Every structure is written in structure tokens, then in C-alpha cells.
Homo-oligomer: A and B are copies of this chain.
């Protein structure tokens, strides 16, 4: 939507403000007023650059997830243990944005538009896990690998929820148990 340089800069300012608010105050802190005040921008400017408040929030969350990707280039060099660790890092790391991610997923349960976005990113992640799994165990069929990946990711998501609600919960230890025997024995990661 932005076409001029100033517009692109404003867009960045808005995203930075959203990121900061999301990190410091969680999803409730992110009102349009808060974003526009933090970014020193009028509501009109905001809506000139984004379709909705959610638009900006989604963008920030996506960026944050991408930031922990162990193989951003998609070169196929990531192991299962890498992916699990990255997920655990995202969930238990200092950034409160993991919370927002799960809350968005929750909203996806009743909001079709949100569901579509969440599912899209979910599928991409399943793909990554599935590929890594096949790389480590080439005897697996694609379908089997995908089944395993789906289950593992589900478990990781569930463990993440527990971890975020219960600070004493050791997500890493639980997540490690999800790895296939081979990976555990060889002590990868």
C-alpha cells in the first residue's frame, strides 16, 4: 500500500511501535491509540498503510517467528533437534510474543480469517519438521514423516502453552523426549 519513501518509513515506525508494545505490554497493550501514539502517527496514516490493527500484529509475530529459524535460507541443513530447540527457544525465550502467537491461534478457533493465517504458517512448519525427519530417517515415507511431524508439532504447541502458564514447567526437558530415540542417544544439540 505504501508507495512513497515516507510511507515506507512510516510503516516501519508503526511496526516498530507495535513490536515494542507487544513485547512490553502483551496483546492488551496494543490498542490503535497506543500504536499510533508510540509511532507518533495519526490513525488516518495507520489505515493508509494497514488494512486493520490485526494486520500489523500479524506482521510482527511473523517476523519474530522467522527470527529464530535455524535455517532461514531453506537450505535443508536443519536437524529435527535444531527445529525443536528453535521452537522451545521461541516459546520460553524472553520475548512475550510467543504468548501472542498462541492467543492468535486461540482466536483462530472462531475467527475464520485468523484461522487461515494461522493454518498457513502451521503447514509451513509441519513441512519443515517433516523434511528434517525424512532427512534423518530416509526410510520414512513422506506420509509417515508428515504424521510424525504433525504430532510432534502438536505436542510442542501444547507443551508451550503449559510452559507459558506455569513458569516452573521445564519445557525443554519435555520437548527433548519427543525426539526419536536415535537423536536422543547421539546427543545431538
Contact = CB atoms under 8 A, between A and B. Distances in A.
B156 A110 contact: no
- How extensive is the interface on chain A, given as a class? 35 or more
Interface stretch (A4-12, A57-65, A97-105, A132-140): A97-105
Determine how many copies of this chain the complex contains.
2
Given A99-B110, A105-B106, A174-B147, A153 B158 contact: yes
A159 interface: yes
A109 interface: yes
Interface string A102-125: 110111111000010011001000
A165 interface: yes
18 contacts: A27-B110, A102-B106, A103-B106, A103-B109, A103-B110, A105-B165, A106-B107, A109-B164, A109-B165, A115-B165, A118-B165, A119-B166, A122-B162, A147-B173, A150-B162, A154-B156, A157-B157, A158-B158
